[in-house]
Structure 1
Amino acid sequence: MYLEIVSPEKVLLSAEVTSVTVPGVEGEFQMLNNHAPIVSVLAKGVVKVDGNFEIAEEVKDDFTKAQDGKWHFPIKGGVLEMKNNKAIVLAD
């Protein structure tokens, strides 16, 4: 699936990924390829991204690589839309 993580200042990630886990307001949930369409409000927490992709050098400091190999991106909240194998995270 294709994932975009966008902040008010810039596009942080735009890549083909294996999975993304987000902090929904009613709990954390994961999306894989062919996930049903969804719109969700996101709570403060960490967006966890798995896959074989590169993080752009100018935003690498915004992400951390966890021991499980996933990239973590902390957010204060936001909105997620998943439709047609494309997920967009509008992060605060």
Structure 2
Amino acid sequence: MLLEIVSPEGHLFKGEVTAVTVPGVDGEFQLLNQHANIVSVLAAGTVKIAVNNLNAATEYSPKFTRNDKEQKLFLAIQSGTLEMKDNKIIILVD
């Protein structure tokens, strides 16, 4: 599935991912391939992105931390909104 993360400064991430875990206002939840359409408000916390190959991630900002062993990227956010539709996730963060 395709993930885009956008902030007021511009694109922070764009690429194919296998899973995304986000801090929802009612708790953390995960989006996997072919997840149902959803729109959600995000709370302060960490967006966790799982990819097949970190080196193949299309583009991502230096604001991310990474765990090479688990093939994951992490982004701390203060708030945001998320939309998943047609296997594409767009996250707008502050």
TM-score above 0.5: yes
Equivalents in 2 of 1:85, 1:54: separation in Å?
Answer: 17
Equivalents in 1 of 2:70, 2:82: separation in Å?
Answer: 23
Aligned position for 2:44: 44
Runs of at least 4 residues of structure 1 off by over 4 A?
A: none
Measure how far apart 1:62 and its partner are. Answer: 0.3
Equivalents in 2 of 1:55, 1:65: separation in Å?
Answer: 14
Equivalents in 2 of 1:55, 1:46: separation in Å?
Answer: 20
Aligned position for 1:6: 6
Establish whether residue 65 from structure 1 lines up as the match of residue 66 from structure 2. yes
Structure 1 SS opposite 2:75: strand
Stretch deviating more after TM superposition (47-56 or 23-32): 47-56
Q: Structure 1 length as normaliser, TM-score?
A: 0.90
- In structure 2, the gaps of 5 or more residues are none
**Partner deviation per Cα, 1:20-73 (whole Å, 9 max, x = no partner):** 00000000000011000000000000000001232637x2x2000136331000
Higher relative strand content: 2
Equivalents in 1 of 2:24, 2:11: separation in Å?
Answer: 21
Equivalents in 1 of 2:40, 2:59: separation in Å?
Answer: 26
Instruction: Count matched residues.
Output: 90
- In structure 1, the gaps of 5 or more residues are none
Mapped contact 2:44–2:77 kept (Cα < 8 A): yes
Alignment of 1:74-85 (within 5 A): 74-85=76-87
Mapped contact 2:16–2:57 kept (Cα < 8 A): no
